[in-house]
Structure formats: C-alpha cells, structure tokens
Amino acid sequence: MKNIARYATLACASGTFLLLTGCATGPQANPRDPLEPMNRKIAGFNDAVDNAVVKPVATAYTNVTPVLVRKGVTNFFSNLGEVWNTANNALQFKGQATVESWMRFSINTVFGLGGIFDLATDMGLERHKEDFGQTLGTWGVPSGPYLVIPILGPSTIRDAAALPLDAQGNLLNAFPHAGDRDRLYGLSLINTRANLLRAGAVLDEAALDKYSFTRDFYLQARRSEVYDGNPPDLPAEPAK
C-alpha cells in the first residue's frame, strides 16, 4: 500500500511538473489553478458537447421516463458502486464503513432486485461513497492543481491519476457482453446527467462566472470528502 501511495505521489508530482512547465500562466495565476487558460478552453468544449448532445438526450430521457423508473436506475448503478466503496473504505481502514458498504451491496442485490430498490437505506445502513482519489488523499497524496478533463469535467491531478483504477473498480466491467456494457455505460451517463438538470439550471442562472464557481465548489467538496466532512483549516495566505 505504501508503494502505491509513493507511486501515486510521484505520478502526481510528475504530472504537475509537466503541466506547469507546458502551461505556465505567470505570477498572477491562481495557485490552485495554474492551468486556468487551458482548463477554461476544455470547460468550454465540455459545455458545447453537453449543450449539443448530452443535455438534450438527458432532458428527453427525463420527459419520457417515469420518476420511479429513473429512481430504480439510479439505485441500480449506485448499488454496483458499493463494491468499489467497500474496497476503498477497507484501504482507508474504515472498518464500520467497509462492513456497511458490503452489507448494502448484499442486501440490495439479493432483496432489492439487483439494487433497483434501496432497502439498505430504509434499514438505516448509510452509504459511504469512496473512490481511489479519496483513498490517495487519505494516504497523504496531495491533490495537485485543478484540472478539467475533456468530457469528464472537473478533477485534480491526483484524482485524474486515480481514474484508471476507478474504472477498473466499476462493476459494469463484469458484464461479459461488450454491447450490454456499452449500453449500460450510456444509460449511466444519461441518468447521471438527468439527475443534475435542475442543479445545472440553477448554476447557469446564479453564477456570474460558471467556471470559477464550478472549480471552487469542486475543490471544496473534494477536500471535505477526503476528510469525511471535517477538513483541517487551510494555511493562512501571506499578507500582500
């Protein structure tokens, strides 16, 4: 585990160095977002793809799919994620969360018709959502600069380095037929975007600078997730 953490730290540092040397933005750059010019361009591309393709499909999906069906789809994909939640909670030595995550998967899979019904929540078993980026953060790997990934959206150097393992931990990969996997991945994407339609509309109306708002919200939320809602105080900025 220590070797994995050291490797991730090295990968994060190397990626940060390469990105910074290739996209330096001068002394006025936001220290959390030194890649802002590049990130803004990628964010603009992502918004264009979303507005042209993903959002219209998600809107149509919402209009034709009953709420209860959409809820069942959301529960199904959330239940698949419990296996990776279990693994990451175990890697973070969170005993109770590990047991509860596995119990959630077992109960919802067996008695909830493959996870369509979230019986575990009704039984008082809390969901402990964890990914490998959070695990690396728990191990002390720094987040590195903010990074916008094409199509995938907000991230950091650390979270981007964790994506390959997160992808391998997705239980959708266990489906043997490639066509079924692709359709399920597509459904997961559209269902996730449909669940964010209302929040996206509020963001579009409220934020003067959508990019800055999204960045600040993401970084704050990820820091809170790594520290389970109790992040330490950030060091005070030096007086100018």
pTM: 0.85
Taking the mean position of all CA atoms in its chain, how far away is CA 223? Answer: 12
Of 25-39, 56-70, 178-192, give the lowest mean pLDDT range: 25-39
How far CA 97 is from CA of 17, 59, 132, 219, 229, in Å, comes to: 36, 35, 15, 24, 15
Residue reference for tokens 């008695």: 111
Per-residue pLDDT, averaged over 91-96, amounts to: 97
133: pLDDT confidence band, cut at 50, 70 and 90?
Answer: very high
Start-to-end Cα distance in the chain: 41
b/e map 100-131, b = 16+ CB within 10 Å: bbbebbebbbeebeebbbbbbbeeebebbbbb
DSSP characters for 186-215?
Answer: HHHHHHHHHHTHHHHHHHHHH-SSHHHHHH
pLDDT higher than threshold 70 for residue 204: yes
**What pLDDT was estimated at residue 7?**
46
According to DSSP, residue 147 is labeled: E
82: pLDDT confidence band, cut at 50, 70 and 90?
Answer: very high
pLDDT higher than threshold 90 for residue 26: no
CA Rg value for the chain: 19
**What pLDDT was estimated at residue 14?**
44
Which one has a higher pLDDT value, 232 or 50?
50
1: pLDDT confidence band, cut at 50, 70 and 90?
Answer: low
Per-residue pLDDT, averaged over 134-162, amounts to: 97
**What pLDDT was estimated at residue 202?**
81
Per-residue pLDDT, averaged over 63-70, amounts to: 97
Q: What are phi and psi of 148, to 5 degrees?
A: -100, 125
pLDDT higher than threshold 60 for residue 110: yes
Which residues is 146 bridged to in the sheet? 156
**What pLDDT was estimated at residue 27?**
53
227: pLDDT confidence band, cut at 50, 70 and 90?
Answer: very high
Domain boundaries in the chain?
A: 2-64+131-226
Per-residue pLDDT, averaged over 155-176, amounts to: 95
How far CA 124 is from CA of 82, 91, 119, in Å, comes to: 15, 24, 9
Encode pLDDT of 169-178 as tens digits.
Answer: 999 998 889 9
Per-residue pLDDT, averaged over 198-204, amounts to: 84
Per-residue pLDDT, averaged over 132-146, amounts to: 97
pLDDT higher than threshold 90 for residue 39: yes
